[in-house]
Chain A
Amino acid sequence: MKKKLLSMVLGMSMVMTALAGCGVQNADSFESKADTQPAETSDAAETETQAAPESAGPVEDVDISFYTTETGKDQMFQDIIAEFERLNPNITVEYIAAGDDQLQQWMALYASNEGPTVSLMDPINIWENQERMLELTNEPVIANIEENALSTMTFDGKIYAVPQTAAGVGILYNKEVCDKAVGGDFDPSTIKTRSDLEDLFKKIEATGVDATCFTGVNWSLGSHWLCQAYGGAIGSTQDRVDYVNSIIEGKTKEIDNDVFNGYMDTFDMMAKYNHNAADPLVGDVNIDAQALAAGECGTWFMGDWAWTFLGPIVSEGQEFGLLPVPHSDDPSDVLNQSIATSYAKGYCIDKSQNTEAQQAAGLKFIEFITSDTYALEQMVKVTGQALPYKNCQVEIESPLGLSTANYIAKGLTYDFYGTPNLAPSDIWYECGAYMCEYLAGQTDRKTLASKLDEYWSHQEKR
């Protein structure tokens, strides 16, 4: 009898647990959550957000989540969130930082019906997922964003994200090493061609210091170096799209393109002077940053975000800056004197799995992070990069960020991609591997170009 009773109890509890599980699933679904929110509340919250972004909050308590793919800046974001929550006691922000693979975790969150309210993602990822995103075109937050920073966040004339920072891609230099090499005050504007750059390298080598450094990792070589060949040197945004489409269709071969060959000629030249030449693929950003800071190498192909690694280890008085990557020997080519800037990440809001109240709170959070003085100070201090926000008065401390800002001020920059979807989301991994193989000397340029053609042939037209 006891056994029967026990089995009945177990059976009932199991059935109840299963039903409860189903119940939770329904309760968590977007439709149900939306139904529980009175329309007035959502509208009110939205109105309040637009009217007074910093003072008032939604009437009801709202829990939102913020997913960031910007690694190594957890403390900065948590400090900003803490300040936001202090000013908006009704809103609680759950902080979710991406691990090694930003897409995998994002997809997992969506698969479990927990799509983040606000995500900081690459434009290509937002573009691929635009049907889930809230259109921000007519939101007040956009008014504070510099117009030229919005192109990679705009799809078919609609704005789906707010850009984060302006990242400058180029060759970092240690001024002390370069000064010693040129025997005076090194002026980066004297580097106008590939030959000028090689002359500088020769002078640096003459002082007993390695001239330059490649970090042999797929994202740096595949996403940054290679993608220059689809950038400004090709022409206008439409020219770039047409060029990529012609490769996809097989009408153009990479090996026949002057821009590709120009960048690869510069790559070959730099590889000769590579600090890591003995073991080119043992890529480690921290170790290479140390090499530049310690004056073991004079230059380093990277970007102004490298201040995250350099900042904590440089000595007082050390100066660093950013050089453009020349793709030809034409001194009149303004692109050889310009750096590529990229708005590599943007804040977007999910509308597919978040209620209207959550979307309004998410919008409020984005407004805060892109306009509040404290948030801007934190962003500039930690990232060391220029921010594309009109009300931003914070001075950049990072010499690399300042260098980018100077190029921007002189008009010597060009948009790295121009469109959100020019480069596929896996180009860093697939083509990065081909570039690593090339750097290691395991393949020649013709084979590299044919592998790139093959990669593009599997892509859809842009």
Chain B
Amino acid sequence: MTKNYRRRLSDIFSFAGFGLPALVIWASVVLVPFIYGIWITFTDWNGLAMQINYVGIKNYIDVFSDATFITSFLKTVIYAFFTVVASNLIGFLLALAVTSGIKGQNFFRTGFFTPNIIGGIILGYIWNFIFSYALTSFGKSIGVDWMSTSWLTNPTRALIALIIVSAWQLSGYLMVIYIAGLTSVPRELIEAAYVDGATGFDVIKNVKLPLIKNSTAICIFLSISRTFMSFDMNLSLTAGGPYKSTELIAYKIYQTAFTSMEFGKGQAQAIVLFVIVAIISLLQVYFTRKGVDEQ
């Protein structure tokens, strides 16, 4: 047995021990379902039938000729844009606040992060009550008309409500990443900037922000992918209503597959969503990296 052969054998065993389990799990829960999902897109399976027929690319043609799918996608883009901007802005400002050395900053960090560990479904139901009943009762008691009716029964206000709650939930999560970035900014650089006469805003703009570009890239990437695939909040807060006006793309896919029992078409919609999110994410990563490299 040569030394090389023994080393190769040792490498194989090491991989089998440490790498293969993870690979098998990943393949089982991601790769295999993904390939299976692609296969389903070429069938007319309704999710229950024992007989499955091939329909070629009919499901993809249906997806692109379905005006409601395009509408849902555009609504998702609007929702994603405002949620990404708001959550990143709030997350960054919160991170600035809780790294400024204020009293009880650890308590605030925990408090702002808490919405993330509650879960979208529960948060959605809580906010549903707030928008439908708590705010309306308050509005009626002070005699303000626009607050006297539920936010969730008007298409525009329902979408705004969805953005507000999503941004509120997401900003605490992003805050933690921004905190990690801000605490790694060298103290001496900040002090030097102040010595040179920089204002607090100048320090944020010219010292902190450029030095946390990696954190910003991660936050934007995470928020984009999360918002494009937002489902739980959509389900529990608005359930796509009023009259399907807040039916985001993931919720639309769910309804197609499980309510209309068009599993093949729903899966085709999911593949289209995957491609769109992948392209957006890759572009975002490319441009962010380019920015970091040029720095």
Of the candidates B14, B17, B51, B241, which one forms a contact with A14 in the assembled complex, judged by CB atoms under 8 Å apart?
A: B17
Assuming the contacts A107-B48, A430-B260, asked whether A8 and B242 have C-beta atoms less than 8 A apart, the reply is no
* B261 neighbours in A (Cβ, 8 Å): 103, 128, 425-426
- Does any Cβ of A come within 8 Å of B49's Cβ? yes
Query: Which residues 1-46 of B sit at the A interface, judged by CB distance below 8 A?
Result: 10, 13-14, 16-18, 20-21, 24, 46
Binding site for B on A (CB under 8 A): 3-4, 6-11, 14-15, 18, 100-101, 103-104, 106-107, 110-111, 128-129, 131-132, 216, 218, 278-282, 284, 352, 424-426, 429-430, 433-434, 436-437, 440, 442
What's the nearest-Cβ distance from chain B to residue A429, in Å?
5
| Identity of the chain A residue whose Cβ is nearest the Cβ of B247 in the assembled complex | A433
8 nearest A-B residue pairs (beta carbon)? A11-B16, A10-B17, A7-B17, A437-B243, A281-B153, A104-B258, A433-B243, A279-B149
Chain B 49-65 interface residues, beta-carbon cutoff 8 Å to A: 49-51
Cα separation A132 to B16 with both chains bound (whole Å) = 42
Known: A4-B13, A11-B16, A279-B149. A433 touches B241 (CB 8 A): yes
Chain A residues whose C-beta falls within 8 Å of the C-beta of B136 in the assembled complex: 279, 282
- Residue of A whose beta carbon sits closest to that of B48: A129
A279 with B47: CB separation less than 8 A = no
Residues of chain A lying within 8 A (CB to CB) of residue B267: none
* Contact between chains at B17 and A6 (CB < 8 Å): yes
> Which of B14, B48, B50 is A7 in contact with, Cβ under 8 Å?
B14
On whether the beta carbons of B13 and A103 are closer than 8 Å, the reply is: no
| In the complex, B230 has a CB within 8 A of chain A | no
Select which of B10, B51, B153, B235 is within 8 A of A131 by beta carbon.
B51
| Residues in A neighbouring B240, C-beta threshold 8 A | 433
| Complex: chain B residue closest to A429, CB-CB | B259
Q: Which residue of A lies closest to B62 (CB)?
A: A458
B241 touches A436 (CB 8 A): yes
- The chain A residue sitting closest to B255, CB to CB, is A429
Residue of B nearest to A132 (CB): B50
> Which residues of B sit under 8 angstroms from A111, Cβ to Cβ?
47
User: B47 near A107 (CB under 8 angstroms)?
Assistant: yes
- Tell me which of A4, A110, A426 contacts B48 (CB under 8 A): A110
Question: Once bound together, how far apart are the Cα atoms of A129 and B261, in whole Å?
Answer: 11
Cβ-defined partner of A8 (8 Å) among B17, B46, B149, B241: B17
Please, which residues of chain A bring their CB within 8 A of the CB of B16? 7, 10-11, 14-15
Contacts A4-B13, A14-B21 hold; do A132 and B242 have CB atoms under 8 A apart? no
Q: Is the CB of B17 within 8 A of A100?
A: no
**Chain B residues with Cβ under 8 A from A424's Cβ?**
260
Asked if B13 and A442 make an inter-chain contact with CB atoms under 8 angstroms apart, the answer reads no
**6 new A-B pairs (CB below 8 Å) besides A129-B48, A281-B152?**
A7-B17, A8-B17, A14-B24, A281-B243, A352-B50, A425-B259
Is A278 in contact with B149, judged by CB distance below 8 angstroms?
yes
The interface on chain B, measured as residues whose beta carbon lies within 8 A of the other chain's beta carbons, has a size of: 35
Flag if A281 contacts B241 (CB, 8 Å). Answer: yes
Q: Which residues of B contact A278 (CB under 8 A)?
A: 148-149
20 A-B pairs with C-beta separation under 8 A: A7-B14, A10-B17, A10-B21, A14-B17, A14-B24, A100-B235, A103-B261, A110-B48, A128-B48, A131-B49, A132-B48, A132-B50, A278-B148, A279-B148, A281-B153, A352-B50, A425-B259, A429-B255, A437-B243, A440-B153
Question: B14, B51, B258: which has the most chain A beta carbons within 10 Å?
Answer: B258
Whether B132 is near chain A, meaning CB under 8 Å from some CB there, is: yes
Q: Note all chain A residues with C-beta closer than 8 A to B242.
A: 281, 436-437, 440
- Are B10 and A4 in touch, CB under 8 angstroms? yes
Q: What's the minimum C-beta distance from B103 to chain A, rounded to whole angstroms?
A: 42
Contacts of B88 in A (CB 8 A): none
Taken residue by residue from 237 to 262, chain B's Cβ proximity to chain A (1 for < 8 Å, 0 otherwise) reads as 00011111000000000110011110
Decide if A101 touches B17 in the complex (CB within 8 Å): no
How far, in angstroms, from A434 to B46 measured CA to CA in the complex?
A: 24
Q: Which of B17, B18, B240 has the most CB of A within 10 A?
A: B17
Partner of A425, one of B21, B241, B244, B260: B260
Q: How far is the CA of A8 from the CA of B20 in the complex (A)?
A: 12
A10 to B118, CA, bound (A): 36
| B227 contacts the other chain (CB 8 A) | no
Note all chain A residues with C-beta closer than 8 A to B48: 106-107, 110, 128-129, 132
Q: Are B18 and A279 in contact, with the CB atoms below 8 A? A: no
- Which residues of chain A come closer than 8 Å to B13, judged between CB atoms? 4, 7-8, 11
**Cβ contacts under 8 Å, B260 to chain A:** 424-426, 429-430
In the bound assembly, the distance between CA atoms of A356 and B14 in angstroms comes to 48
Q: When the two chains form their complex, are residues B10 and A282 in contact, meaning their CB atoms are under 8 A apart?
A: no
B17 contact set on A, CB distance < 8 A: 6-11, 14
Minimum Cβ distance to chain B for residue A26 (Å): 16
In the assembled complex, B150 has its CB within 8 A of some CB on chain A: yes
Contacts of A110 in B (CB 8 A): 47-48
Q: Which listed residue, B49, B149, B235, B244, touches A433 by the CB 8 Å rule?
A: B244
Nearest chain-B residue to A115 (Cβ)? Answer: B48
